[in-house]
Amino acid sequence: MKLNINKRHLLLSFTMCLLCFLFGFQETVNAQDSTGAATVKPAPAKVKPVKNTFESLWIIDNQTVMVPQKGTFEMEIMHRFGTTENGYDDFWGLFAPSNIRLGASYSPINNLFIGIGITKSNMLWDASAKYALMKQTKGQYPVSITYYGNMGYDTRKDPDGSLFKYNSQRLIFFNQLIIARKVTDKFSIQVAPSVSHQNAVNGYYTKNDSTGTSTYKEMEFNHFAIAISGRYKLTNVTSVMVNYDQPLTKHNQNNPNPNLSFGFEFSTSSHSFQIFAGSYGLLSPQRNNLYNDTNPFGSYTDAAGNKHEGHQFRIGFNITRLWNY
């Protein structure tokens, strides 16, 4: 009887081993291809961010959402002619006094772009930083978001201290969040809220009136604005651009005018040439937003205080060149 029990145990054990072997063999067969090699399930293809939302780092007077790859060096020349309202007298502003900016930028790491430049008006030096926070990626991120910051330093001579009481008053700042989407292969749009800060405000002093001493502000220290820009590709190398800047902050005096600009861009993989007409002419984002006295929509007041009817525009161009190292 004891032998029969052992046989039953032995038979049961053998049956279990056989089932396990057959089960394991079937799983092995299922995991092999026709060559007998184990099949590895392919990993899903990595989705890459959308490329070339814009063709240049600039869209007229505003930065685009684009940040070049690591090791990219850029040089830029920006030129704004005088306003067009004098017509043939100064050849629609082309022979009027102009403003020029020279700049250079570099990308030391991915997603970061730093730059420096100098502008003829006020001999303003500027330092900037641009960082890509998010890149439009199919199925992940519907838009691209980039931060742009700029600090300017006015280097005009002031021997008698009539312009600046302190050196800190020469500083002016700009911060902007750029949100963009490449809607189609040809059409891209971006929205960019910003805040400009000035350390010195004319009129922000105490004064005596009939009720005693009081304070007043000619302008606020901080100025909020929003820019909307769009680009449509006509061909692989030619695009049409439109840009609008709207001031949001209301000042007691000297409220800046909005900016409307439109033009064409001709680009290659390393060059971009933009020619356009617009209202801005100061070539510094914070100064453009704070002090634009050119009105594209109607009446305007000249430097002598005389009021005129009509639209004010100025012709300008941007040239950028990229090198990859």
pLDDT tens digits, 148-175: 999 999 999 998 888 888 899 999 999 9
pLDDT at residue 207 greater than cutoff 90: no
Which tops the pLDDT comparison, 319 or 206?
Answer: 319
Which has the higher per-residue pLDDT, 14 or 165?
165
Domain residue limits, the chain: 1-42, 58-324
Enclosing H/E stretch for 76: strand 72-83
Residue 1: which pLDDT band, with cuts at 50, 70 and 90? very low
Identify the burial level of 240 via C-beta atoms within 10 angstroms of its C-beta, where 0-12 means exposed, 13-18 middle and 19 or more buried: middle
Q: Rounded CA gap, 276 and 265, in Å?
A: 9
pLDDT 10s digits, 103-141: 999 999 999 999 999 999 999 999 999 999 999 999 999
Averaged pLDDT score across all residues of the chain: 85
Model pTM score: 0.80
Give the containing element (helix H, strand E) for 286.
Answer: helix 285-291
Q: What is the pLDDT of residues 57-103, one digit of tens each?
A: 999 999 999 999 999 999 999 999 999 988 999 999 999 999 999 99
pLDDT at 111: 97
Across 18-32, 215-229, 250-264, 293-307, least confident range? 18-32
Q: Where are the alpha helices (DSSP H) in 215-281?
A: none
Element (H, E) at 93: none
pLDDT in tens, 230-283: 999 999 999 999 999 999 999 988 899 999 999 999 999 899 999 999 999 999
Read off the pLDDT of each residue in 173-181 and give the average, rounded to a whole number.
Answer: 98
Distance CA 98, CA 80 (A): 6
Give the DSSP letter string of 148-202: EEEEEEE----TTSSS-SSGGGGEEEEEEEEEEEE-SSSEEEEEEEEEEEES--T
List of residues 6+ apart from 286 with CB closer than 8 A:
150, 152, 172, 173, 174, 196, 197, 198
Residue 35's pLDDT is what? 52
Q: How confident is the model at residue 163, as a pLDDT?
A: 86
User: Burial of 258 by CB count in 10 Å (0-12 exposed, 13-18 middle, 19+ buried)?
Assistant: middle
- pLDDT for the residue 298: 73
Asked if residue 205 has pLDDT above 70, the reply is: no
Token pair belonging to 137: 């990626």
Structural fold of domain 58-324: Porin (2.40.160)
